[in-house]
């Protein structure tokens, strides 16, 4: 039975008694009372920053306090609305507006600008302060996220998201005072540092200083080109979020109307990425079974490869784990390979006239589509990737009223799906789909269509144990890259035993991708629930029962893991430099004819002792008097991570380097140089 709140567990908010409950700060209690205090820098999943000062309240006996950083104490008397508080909030917003470089209607957030929304709520009618007028260069180096530092208000949301949730720290504060900025390391662009493209920084940015890399205009050009036949694929998570942009509740079913809208926009065919999600289960499931049966087929745990931000994270931060990654492309990538091979003939067009556009909830899919591995015959297999938000803008821009459209079906055969494929839209969905498939092909089939509650639910890590075909299978589900790093550490140290690990970079999975409409509180849970409902509503819940996938194997692919399957549905990975093309000069002077020697200090080489090699090499160069002939530098990757520590001397890359080995090579190259 519910208990009655007592004075020992309540505070007073604007004269009303409110229970403290599990609230971590006054802000949460105030919001629970029905008062939605404005904030820019507060997100429940991040640490408290207290920078914007919008959530100030007046606590009796203590004065004005920031509610986000004040723990609730029983008996507190809190007032949220006084004239001094309103003046403080207005002044804070005016200062933010003065620091922000607006673009009016052309701003990416013009229709949903948090800064303008808060300004209206707190009653700002004019800005009394002189605009800073910063005109800083745009950063368009990343295929996933673009950055406009002129719009940054230094709230720090992106910095904390990248560090605390993703563990990447691609952005941080730099300089001091009025010169303070948020930027990547060394003043580089986002595409030149260790950003993985997840876009979660853009999801929490309130001012469009960070946005998904825009592709609306090139998509329009494809749709209006007379010789081009454009087709679209739609990811599972898009259908449970796009309705929010048109006034529908989170999780509202919009699939059929979205298909109709895409045809109105000019797409010749509209396909469902859920089809290739089912295909991914066949391929990845077969790969998993092969690894279970023989270590020669690859190491365990098998790690899913559906999330391109996670894949890039492994390439950059944990290249030693690359053999554990499934070689399967993501469902988007699989669709691209199939489309280029099969659709020109099916549609009666020249291959050069086919354009493929993806509708994705994610910014990392933009970067994935640009990868060299997803090119065939000299061109990208996926021409453009539009986010859910970008599609909504195109629908709006075309004057199409989504709510008035009659639902239409997907085109076949790439429109057939099962509930298991739809589950890819939420954290735990890939693992659940693979478990159902494994039970169908290895087990007794008793849980082939079951709901595996063990891999669902909240939490950064969920572990499930299933007995299938007489074998115990240990499954781990992780969301958020920082959490993924901890899981890999635990597996490597023997603290956690797993056979398969599903990782999604975005907390909660694709439903919370950076390309989705900015979610109101509770929206992500509603989207996830809608994905689970859609699974139950499908006639088939197991990817093994997708008849069109079966026909595809019979007519084109042969069998899972075949040569043709690997050609169209699989890919390769490689270690990647975390900071692009950057060396650190560690001896005086410019190279100017000197023998350039670089030692990798990347994570893998560092763990193998490259720091000691670097120190020893510097000492040896000094002791031998080579300072006038040799420049020693540190670098961050020579792309030989499995065989470090690595050192590059001139054009020669040494692996498993020791100081003696490097000194001998330097001596040999110096001796071979022409004298005089």
Query: How many Å is the Cα radius of gyration of the chain?
Result: 27
Catalytic residue annotation: 284, 287, 306, 326, 365, 368, 373, 510
How do strand 652-654 and strand 647-649 relate by DSSP bridges? Answer: antiparallel
Residue identified by tokens 């819940």 is 541
The number of beta carbons lying within 10 Å of the beta carbon of residue 624 is: 14
What is the three-class DSSP state of 303?
A: strand
Helix axes 659-672, 610-623, angle to 10 degrees: 40
Task: State how far the Cα of 219 lies from the Cα of 91, in Å rounded to an integer.
Answer: 42
Instruction: Give dist(CA 546, CA 538) in Å, integer.
Output: 11
Enumerate the H helices of 136-230 as residue ranges. Answer: 157-160, 200-204, 216-224
Residue with tokens 């990737």: 385
Cα distances from 482 to residues 205, 306, 504, in angstroms, run 20, 18, 11
Q: How many CB atoms lie within 10 A of CB 88?
A: 16
Task: Report residue 508 CA to chain centroid gap.
Answer: 11
Residues with Cβ < 8 Å from 336, sequence gap 6 or more? 329, 356, 369, 374, 380, 381, 382
> From CA 297, how far away is CA 288, in angstroms rounded?
9
Instruction: Give the contacts of 615 (CB within 8 A, at least 6 positions apart).
Output: none
DSSP track, 425-444: GSTTHHHHHHHHHHHHHTS-
- Which 3 state secondary structure label does DSSP give 570? strand
d(CA 363, CA 387): 7
The Cα 271–Cα 569 span in angstroms is: 17
Rounded Cα–Cα distance for residues 518 and 512 (Å): 9
Contact (Cβ atoms closer than 8 angstroms) between residue 80 and residue 41: no
Under 8 Å between Cβ of 390 and 379: no
- 476 CB-near residues (< 8 Å, 6+ apart): 301, 431, 461, 462, 463, 487, 496, 498, 500, 501, 502
Q: Kind and range of the H or E element at 463?
A: strand 461-468
Sign of CA dihedral 466, 468, 472, 475: negative
Q: How far apart are the first and last CA of the chain?
A: 93
């Amino acid at each position: 039975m519910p208990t009655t709140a007592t004075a020992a567990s309540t505070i007073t908010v604007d004269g009303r008694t409110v229970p403290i409950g599990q609230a971590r700060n006054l802000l949460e209690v105030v919001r629970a009372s029905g008062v939605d205090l404005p904030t820019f820098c507060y997100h429940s999943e991040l640490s408290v920053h207290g920078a914007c000062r919008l959530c100030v309240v007046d606590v009796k006996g203590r004065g004005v306090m920031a509610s986000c950083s004040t723990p609730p104490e029983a008996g507190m008397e809190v007032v949220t609305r006084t004239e001094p508080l309103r003046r403080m909030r207005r002044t804070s917003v005016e200062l933010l507006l003065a620091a922000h470089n607006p673009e009016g209607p052309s701003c990416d957030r013009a229709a949903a600008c948090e800064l303008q929304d808060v300004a209206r709520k707190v009653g700002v009618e004019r800005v009394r302060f002189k605009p800073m007028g910063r005109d800083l260069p745009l950063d368009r180096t990343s295929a996933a996220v673009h950055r406009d530092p002129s719009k940054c208000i230094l709230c720090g949301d992106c910095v904390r998201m990248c560090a605390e949730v993703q563990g990447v720290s691609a952005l941080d504060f730099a300089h001091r005072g009025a010169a303070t900025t948020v930027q990547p390391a060394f003043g580089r662009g986002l595409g030149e540092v260790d950003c993985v493209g997840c876009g979660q920084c853009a999801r929490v940015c309130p001012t469009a200083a960070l946005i998904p890399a825009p592709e609306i205009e090139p998509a329009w050009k494809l749709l209006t080109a007379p010789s081009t036949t454009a087709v679209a694929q739609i990811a599972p998570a898009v259908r449970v979020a796009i309705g929010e942009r048109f006034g529908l509740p989170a999780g509202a079913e919009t699939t059929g109307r979205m298909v109709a809208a895409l045809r109105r926009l000019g797409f010749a065919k509209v396909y469902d990425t859920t089809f290739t999600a089912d295909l991914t289960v066949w391929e990845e499931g077969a790969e998993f079974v092969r690894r279970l049966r023989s270590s020669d087929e690859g190491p365990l745990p098998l790690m899913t490869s559906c999330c391109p931000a996670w894949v890039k994270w492994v390439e950059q931060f944990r290249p030693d784990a690359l053999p554990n990654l499934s070689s399967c492309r993501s469902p988007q990538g699989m669709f691209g390979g199939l489309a280029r091979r099969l659709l020109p003939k099916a549609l009666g067009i020249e291959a050069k006239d086919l354009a493929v556009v993806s509708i994705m909830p994610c910014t990392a899919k933009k970067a994935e589509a640009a990868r060299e591995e997803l090119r065939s015959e000299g061109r990208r297999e996926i021409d453009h990737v539009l986010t859910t938000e970008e599609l909504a803008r195109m629908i709006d821009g075309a004057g199409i009223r989504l709510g008035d459209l009659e639902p239409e079906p997907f085109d076949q055969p790439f429109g057939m799906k099962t509930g298991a494929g739809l589950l890819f839209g939420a954290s735990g969905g890939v693992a659940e789909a693979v478990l159902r498939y494994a039970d169908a092909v290895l087990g007794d089939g008793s849980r082939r269509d079951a709901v595996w509650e063990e891999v669902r639910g909240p939490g950064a890590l969920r572990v499930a144990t299933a007995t299938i075909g007489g074998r115990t299978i240990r499954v781990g589900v992780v969301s958020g890259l920082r959490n993924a790093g901890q899981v890999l550490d635990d597996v490597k140290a023997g603290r956690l035993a797993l056979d398969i690990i599903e990782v999604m970079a975005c907390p909660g999975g694709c439903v919370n991708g950076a390309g989705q409409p900015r979610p109101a509180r509770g929206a992500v849970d509603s989207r996830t629930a809608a994905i689970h409902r859609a699974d139950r509503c499908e006639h088939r819940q197991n990817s093994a029962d997708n008849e069109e996938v079966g026909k595809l194997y019979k007519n084109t692919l042969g069998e899972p893991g075949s040569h043709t399957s690997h050609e169209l549905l699989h890919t390769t990975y490689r270690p990647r430099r975390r900071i692009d093309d950057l060396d650190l000069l560690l001896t005086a002077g410019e190279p100017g004819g000197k023998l350039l020697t670089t030692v990798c200090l990347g994570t893998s080489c560092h763990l193998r002792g490259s720091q000691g090699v670097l120190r020893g090499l510097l000492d040896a160069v000094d002791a031998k008097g080579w300072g006038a002939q040799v420049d020693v530098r540190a670098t961050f990757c020579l792309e030989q991570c499995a065989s470090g520590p690595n050192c590059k001397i001139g054009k020669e890359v040494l692996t498993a380097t020791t100081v003696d080995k490097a000194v001998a090579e330097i001596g040999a190259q110096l001796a071979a140089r022409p004298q005089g």
